[in-house]
A = this chain, B = another copy of it.
Amino acid sequence: MTALQKSAVCVLGTGLIGGSVLRAAATAGYRSWGYNRSAAGAEAARADGFDVGTDIRPVLRRAADEDAVVVVGVPMPALDAVLSDIGLLAPECVLTDVISVKTPVLATVRKHELGARFVGGHPMAGTAESGWAASGADLFTGAVWALGVDPGTHAESWERVARLALDSGAVIAPVIAEEHDRAVARISHLPHVLAEALAVAGAAGGDLALGLAAGSFRDGTRVAGTAPELVRAICEPNATALLDALDDALRLLGDARDTLATDGTLGALIDAGYSERNRYDTLERWDITDIRPGDHDWHERLRAAGQRGGVIRQLN
């Protein structure tokens, strides 16, 4: 690895995910610094020894000067304003993000004419907590980091962002924006919505019911403990894909409800659920080793490999 490959990282928004990127990058030996809108968040990061300011302009000027990878870690509603600043102050930098939905991010990036060096990202990690205080350098250890291989993605930019993800301890799942959004609607956004519904339907049983609640309720409602504004910022920008997933869940639950009402059984759902949970438990991620960014058709080949569950564990 040359000095150029592991050079500089500038993180905009040092909450749980952005803050963890900043920590992981520093731990991996990158020169790194950041920006956070709230003074309290920036101060907390500085107290831990990180160079995080509340004025985005000098932060981005340094990114341009040092040819940093710029990592956008702000929530979706704040993206537009941050991209305006990047367009003015660091338009040539390699740009990535850690926002939980990819199609709206890609559209906004293109609107700002920043698509040439952009690589969409989404590390699949988190906790119910948020903010710098919840961040950690090891949040991505063993996690999967979705990385965009949308048509036109620049190979060298992709490699630089991929290296940052790998150096943070993650493995990379290559994916295009639309397929990413459909997938996370099912395995991240739908779980949030079901957890909220379970919390409400359970609590309708009163203190007796909540007092009897054990592991199944505790685990099933865990992510309902996430701050509501964060849940909305994660789920609502992915409305189209989430609607499909919600309709599937409503159909499955409605069918089980109907067989329970008519013949006292939960029908096919229980066997199907067991079988699919088992499929998840036994899923083995296989390594993509034969496709290099820049190769002929590399976007499409990485996309196809990602669809089949392949991940990248190292760059050649």
Contacts and interface: CB of A to CB of B under 8 A. Distances in A.
Contacts of A211: 144, 173, 283, 285, 309, 311
Given A187-B209, A203-B280, A274-B226, A197 B261 contact: no
A191 B220 contact: yes
A152 B312 CA distance: 66
Interface of A: 124-127, 143-144, 146, 173, 175, 179-180, 182-188, 190-228, 231-232, 235-236, 239, 242-243, 245-250, 252-254, 256-257, 260-261, 264-266, 269-274, 276-281, 283, 285, 306-309, 311
27 contacts: A124-B214, A125-B214, A143-B214, A144-B214, A184-B209, A186-B204, A187-B202, A188-B216, A190-B198, A193-B269, A196-B270, A200-B252, A200-B269, A200-B276, A202-B280, A203-B276, A203-B280, A208-B308, A213-B280, A217-B280, A225-B274, A226-B274, A227-B274, A249-B253, A250-B253, A250-B257, A253-B253
B280 A228 contact: no
**Top 6 A-B pairs, shortest CB-CB distance:** A196-B273, A207-B309, A203-B276, A183-B209, A224-B277, A191-B216
B201 A252 contact: yes
A266 B193 contact: yes
Contacts of A228: 270-271, 273-274
A282 to B, nearest CB: 10
Contacts of A281: 225
A283 B205 CA distance: 13
A302 B42 CA distance: 53
Given A186-B204, A203-B280, A242-B260, 8 more contacts: A183-B206, A184-B209, A217-B280, A221-B280, A228-B273, A243-B261, A246-B256, A250-B250
Given A179-B208, A186-B204, A276-B203, A243 B257 contact: yes
A269 B196 contact: yes
Nearest to A203: B276
A159 to B, nearest CB: 21
Contacts of A269: 193, 196-197, 200
Contacts of A227: 274
A56 B224 CA distance: 46
A219 B222 contact: yes
A210 B307 CA distance: 10
B187 A216 contact: yes
